[in-house]
Every structure is written in C-alpha cells, then in structure tokens.
Structure 1
Amino acid sequence: MERSDASESPLAAAPGATGPASEAFELLSNETRLAILVALWDAYDPFDGENAVRFSDLRDAVGVTDSGQFNYHLEKLTGHFVESTDQGYELREPGRKFVRAVVAGAGIEEPTLEPTEIDMECSLCGGAVEVGYEDGWVYNACTECDGLFAGEDTPRGHLSKFKLDPAGFTGRSPAEIYSAAWVRAFQRLYAMIEGICPSCSGPVERSLERCETHDDEGICDDCDRGAAVTAQFECPVCKEWAVTTLGGVAKYHPAAVAFHYERGLPLQYGFNDLASINERLETGHTDWNVVSEDPLRVRVTLGFDGDELDIELAEDLSVVDVSDPR
C-alpha cells in the first residue's frame, strides 16, 4: 500500500482545509462555545428551511447574561461551525457533524455488553457463538474453537468485529446490536471499496496484504489471522481503516450480487436481522488462491448450491476478471 508523506499531518493536509486542525480543537475547548452549538442543534430541523436563531434568543438559551462576552464566543465559531445570516445564526455542516458525533456517543459513557450467546453457529466448527462489546467494537466469538483472528487484546475464538457507536445500542437486544453493527460495517466497507472514506469523505488507499510467514494451521502467530491474504483500506486524511476478507470485497461486485440474487439470496438488501445474516453465512462458501505473486493477484471463488463464480482481484482490490468456471 502506498502511503502519504508522513512528515505532514494528515489532518493539516486534508483537501480544502482552511487551517491547522489544532485551531478547530481550540475553538471547541470552551464550555460556552459548546453550549452555543448545542442550542443551535436543539433549534435545528432538517426539514425546515428556517433554522436561524436570533442573537438574543440564542444568548438566552445558552444562559450568558454578558452580551459582549457571549458575542465574543459566538464570533469565534462563526465562519466554520456557525453561519451568520440576516435572520440570525444557525449551524453549518461542520457544526452539525460535530454535534452528531456527540449524540452518537463520542465523549459519553460507553454501554456495556457482556458476552451473550445468540442464535448463531460458528462457521468453522458449528459451536455456540457469543456476542459482546468492547472499546467501541461489537464482536462475535466461538465458545469452542480458536476463531478467525487473535491478538493481544482479542480473546480466543473471535470470528468478526465491527465498529458501532453507543447510540446503536438504543432499544436493541444483543442479537439486534450485532445485526446493526453488521449492516453498519458493510455500508462503510462499500464506501471504502469505492475509494471514499465513510468518516471524512477523503480518498481511500486499497490493497491486498499478504503475510509472508503465514502459518496455515489455525491462527498465524505473526499476523494473528486465519487467512494469509486480506483486503485492507486506509484513509490518509483521518486515518480511518478497515480489514476484511477477500470474499467481502468480491461479493460487492455486481456479478456476485446477481449470482447470489438469482439463487434466492440478496447480498445488499434485507440483511438487518440475525436470521438473514445466518442465511448469508450458511448458504454460500468462499475460497481463494493466489494467481500471481508480482504483482499480487488473487482469484476468489464464490459457491452457492453447487454453482461457482470466480472473481479476480488485483493488488489495489480492483476486479480484473469475472468468470463462471463451469
């Protein structure tokens, strides 16, 4: 994977940046300014074209009696997080994005989910599967085998893990939490396959990554994974990243979507419940093999009801060939 110049901060180098990122953090380090953003958020209605709040009403909502002091903090926000109009003040998109991050769960107490058994079988050994939550990640793990990956902070048996904001726990059971995390992960993956960062909209670097010392028996001691080759994505602007299986990338291609849909399994629709996820995992299979060492290329074979489809991925994860081996 090619990487951007490490001597320059990825945030400072962001396309369209108006100044050092540290300035934005400094602007939001004051309690009054944060209260202004929250007050404007409370007044915001996405389906109402009139969201401006008059100066006096905004000051009353924030609770600052000193007009001069309030105006000082408001002016600091105006231009980047807040827009001044003839009707008053309203949030600009960066301001809305910041408050959304807070609402989603950044900066508040994280929820907890102790390992809980759900109605799912391990795809490797058929054992019982538990779902849990730790440090911003929803994971599922087999209770009987070593799973698909490991690591210093990863318990034995892990099969997959997906990011989920604390807001994703609202009103959901453990099975529904796992399903929500699954959907969220694949929507983010699809954006990254298209080269767009789902977090900041920056460009995404995509690559096949191979462990040269991979141990084919169980979890490799060097890469902590069950597969020697994985698909990796990284945004050089905000450092968002993802690692997924080769099948996860191949199944995004329209030929793969059609292949499964014709056999009664929609890949990108209606998979927001555990039963649909189980069906997807249980009815198809994925194999892969390296077809070129330099440059690295792999052929991913998708199987369903005795039929197969081959999709060949280049080193940058682009699809270079699609074929039916029958």
Structure 2
Amino acid sequence: MDDETRLTYGSLPPEAALSLLGNDVRTTILWTLSEARGGDGPPPILPFSTLKERTGLDIDSSRFNYHLQELTGTFVERVDPDTRDDAQLVSGMAGPKTDGFRLRPEGTTLIRTVRAWSIDGDGSRARVELDQECHHCDGTLIGRYENAIFAVQCDDCDYLYDYNLTPPGIVAASDGRLDRVAAFNRQQRRAFASGICPLCAGPLDSEFQEPAETGYPRSDLRSVLIRRGCAHCGNKDNLTVGEFLCADAGLIAFCHERGLDVTTTPLWELPFAATDRAVTVETTDPWTVTLQIDLAGDRLVLGVDESLAVVKRRRA
C-alpha cells in the first residue's frame, strides 16, 4: 500500500497520528491510561473526572477535554454503554461497561513500545564470557550489550555469531541473561525464517547476499547470507542458511531424533546455524545453496533455491 493511502485504524495518515503526540498533556493522558491498565484484566475504563485527577495536571477541564478528544478515535476510545461503542470485543465480553475512556490497541502498542525500551539505570552490561568455544578458532566467545544491541563475538578471530536489536529488559536480570537473550533471538529469527515480520506481521521480501555486502566482520569465513526485510515497517535481519532452515520441520525432527533440540539450543551453539561450514553455494545466478548436517553418524541434506523453497531433501 502506498504511503498516500496508508491509514491507521483511527483513519489518519501515520504522520498525522504521530503529530497528535506533540503535547505533554496528551502524552500524560496516554501514560496515565497505561498505568491504570497494569497487567491484569481487561483495559480499564476511566471516567473523565477520574482520568483528569490521576494525570495530576493542573489545567481546567475544558483544556483537558480538548486534548483528550484529539486523542480519541486514534489512541484512545470512549466507551459509551448506551450506544455500545467499543473497539475491543474481548474486554466488552468481560463484564458490564461504564462510561469513560481507555487506550485503543494503537495506544496500548505505542506505550508498550516505550515501556519495552525503558529500563532503570544504565542498560549497558559488562562483557560476559560464554561457555562455548568459537567454531572457527576455538577461541573465547564474548557476549556484550550496548546501544540496544546484544552481540556474541569471538574474542580471538572476531567472527560475529549474533548481532540483534534487543530490548534492555532482556538483560536486566543478572541470572539467566544469556538464556533469555538466546530465546528472544531465536524467536525473532524463526519469525524471519517463516516469512513473517516479528514487529508488524507483514510479509517479508528476501534476497541472497554476498557476505562482504553486509559489513559483518570476517566475511572471509562466510559463504552467503539471506537478507529478509519488511516493506511495511522497515524491519529487517540477516540469517545464515542454517538459521533460516532451523524453522524447517524436517530439520527439527532429524535433530530431535538424535538428541538435539534446535528449538531450545542457542543458535551460537549450533555449528550448522552459527557458521557456513556446512553450506555449499551451488549456483549464484540464480542462487541455489545446500546445507549438510552430520549428526550421530547420520546425514541430512537440504537444498534451497532463490525463492527460499526447499527443493532438495535427503537423509543418508
């Protein structure tokens, strides 16, 4: 859809919806409604007087109402028990309605995004040594989090195993941090591998890329990368062929039958996903690549064409 015809569910162009946020009264209203929601039950409905009181804003009712009405229909909705106006069916089924205001799904998503990228104190974390040797040089793998990026890289040969935009909450806990990061990144990569944007659920385009085109260090140790991007929201990522095929049911079953659960193992611990040592580029025009996994004395061979369809599947 062209930007000229793209509208929010509140029937506004995206830039017009964003312009509504340029006022501290309105942002305070949104935050107050979010605070009222908490984590339990349906979105709460706050009567006008209650909402105004909870914001703590020292302004008259007419000015407060003006800004509230500017948000209503896009980020906020008014629930009228007489007309049954309600954009949220599930919460309407939870019990009787009262007259008042609450966040629309757009408002909830907006505030959730702000909350997800907020943390008490400094979000950066000291480097942590992983209990995993580099698959290329047997060096030490180091995990670090800074500037909203969590990276796993070999401290000796500089090969980059993981590099992902990661909310700070994922590293807030001192215990189990690497497990949380591994689970989050695996979820993101699996969505990309499945062709679904993990941010907006839009379809993804894809292309094979020469490693040097990505800017990743040690491109000499790579054979090819798969770039997947969302034209709707701009979200994108690069996957190794092994990471892409970790969503393949046949690969999951082959590994599971031999004692390896690829749905829970950190990607950097899987040599066929973390490196291209098991990848063979057959052709580049069009692209065809083969992944060979040797496990417990057995072999699985998967071939992928330029459309990312699995065109070859063989066990030996």
Tell me the TM-score range normalised by the shorter chain.
0.7 to 0.9
CA deviations on 1:246-280 (whole Å, 9 max, x unpaired) are: 111112100000000000111114x4xxxx66764
Count of aligned pairs: 294
* TM-score for both structures, normalised by structure 1: 0.80
Distance of aligned partners of 1:62 and 1:284 in 2 relative to their CA distance in 1, 3 Å threshold: closer
2-side partners of 1:100 and 1:62: how far apart?
A: 18
**2:192 alignment partner AA:** M
CA deviations on 1:82-120 (whole Å, 9 max, x unpaired) are: 111022111111111111111111598751123232322
The structure 1 residue matched to 2:63, chosen from 45, 50, 69, is: 69
Let me know the Cα RMSD of the aligned residues.
Answer: 3.0
2-side partners of 1:211 and 1:130: how far apart?
A: 22
Q: CA deviation at 1:40?
A: 0.8
Q: 1:295 aligns to what? A: 286
The within-5 A match list for 1:1-326 is 9=3, 13=6, 18-45=11-38, 47-49=40-42, 51-64=44-57, 65-86=59-80, 87=98, 88-105=100-117, 111-147=123-159, 158-173=160-175, 176-210=176-210, 219-220=218-219, 226-269=221-264, 271=265, 280-281=270-271, 287-324=278-315, 326=316
* TM-score for both structures, normalised by structure 2: 0.82
CA deviations on 1:260-316 (whole Å, 9 max, x unpaired) are: 0000111114x4xxxx66764599985111233332111111221221111111212
What's the secondary structure of 1:124's corresponding residue? coil
2-side partners of 1:18 and 1:243: how far apart?
A: 34
CA deviations on 1:232-253 (whole Å, 9 max, x unpaired) are: 1101111100001111111210
CA deviations on 1:137-175 (whole Å, 9 max, x unpaired) are: 11122222131xxxxxxxxxx3322221012122234xx
Q: CA deviation at 1:200?
A: 1.6
Identity across aligned pairs (percent)? 27
Q: Which runs of 5+ in 1 are unaligned?
A: 148-157
What's the secondary structure of 1:311's corresponding residue? strand
Distance of aligned partners of 1:52 and 1:284 in 2 relative to their CA distance in 1, 3 Å threshold: closer
1-side partners of 2:128 and 2:226: how far apart?
A: 29
Distance of aligned partners of 1:78 and 1:261 in 2 relative to their CA distance in 1, 3 Å threshold: same
Q: CA deviation at 1:188?
A: 1.4
CA contact (8 A) 2:8 2:17 kept: no
Q: Which runs of 5+ in 2 are unaligned?
A: 81-97
1-side partners of 2:244 and 2:7: how far apart?
A: 27
2-side partners of 1:160 and 1:283: how far apart?
A: 11
